[in-house]
A and B are shown apart, each in its own frame.
Chain A
């Protein structure tokens, strides 16, 4: 079983839609969870991170962690074409060691 599972998509939505991106993880000891965004021909950039369970909101983005079901989500409200990118979930597997999902490719069309 992979440590972090993520549906690679692609996911195509119309502009203005609410997007839900999800990952599951296997190790209940993981405490830190991140979402990275990667535009084409660029490196990943940190979008949000959360510690343990709960929600964190930043503008149109909300990160959610449910430790009981080992499920992490990223919601994007009022999606824009500029949100088109690959979204990578990641969790911390120890000092300086991030474990990534495969990434979900999102396309937001006007």
Chain B
């Protein structure tokens, strides 16, 4: 596998369910990101991890819980979601050098299409 992979590609869940999204990058990067993409809205940055440390939490509700066990894997744990959380969830990675440039190219996975009933 190459690049950034995400599983599952599609997920339907009820508001009381607990599920997890998984992201894996095969690029040797040190920074990983979760974004939310809703129709006709800009990509919303949710979380950033640099060298496994969370460096950004963009006021995301606590029903979304990220986990980064190592620099290749990123999870997004979901519980008691709302219908308005239905969206495409994208994972990305970048080189993420400590003190690195803002121009680090971000490479995106294909996303998980989440539907909350």
Contacts and interface: CB of A to CB of B under 8 A. Distances in A.
Contacts of B31: 96
Interface in B34-79: 40-43, 45, 48, 50, 55-56
Interface residues of A, number: 27
A14 interface: no
Contact of A96 (B42, B102, B108, B110): B102
Interface string B90-117: 1010101000101111111111000000
Interface residues of B, number: 27
A59 interface: no
Interface of B: 4, 31, 33, 40-43, 45, 48, 50, 55-56, 90, 92, 94, 96, 100, 102-111
Given A43-B4, A49-B103, A97 B56 contact: yes
Given A49-B103, A97-B48, A98-B45, 16 more contacts: A2-B42, A32-B102, A42-B110, A42-B111, A43-B90, A44-B43, A44-B108, A45-B107, A45-B108, A49-B105, A88-B43, A96-B31, A96-B94, A98-B43, A98-B106, A100-B43
